[in-house]
Amino acid sequence: TYVMFDAGEGNDVLLTTDHPKSMRTIAWARQFEKARVFCYQSGHDDQTFSNPGFRAALGRGIQWVARRI
């Protein structure tokens, strides 16, 4: 679980959780001037990295930042 500031105004919330020990928003995106920003606060172990849903969300976030989608 993670505890950081939640996504503020101007961010598009992409993924949330209702885990009682975690911040609510775990992925968000926004446009900042001419740049795209993607934040994905996820796990950092093999259980996370081997999850197809994790890899799909991360891959799409990278593609969005690179303006490929």
CA angle 65, 46, 2 (to 5 degrees): 65
**Predicted local confidence at residue 1, as pLDDT:** 61
Task: Give the residue from 62, 20, 25 showing the smallest Cα distance to 10.
Answer: 25
The edge-to-edge listing of strands for the beta sheet with 12-16 is: 12-16, 25-32, 35-40
Handedness of CA 61, 62, 66, 67 (dihedral sign): negative
Reported pTM: 0.81
Confidence label for 2 from pLDDT (cuts 50, 70 and 90): low
Residues 5-45 pLDDT 10s: 778 888 999 999 898 888 889 899 999 999 999 999 887 78
Residue 22: exposure state from Cβ atoms within 10 A (0-12, 13-18, ≥19): middle
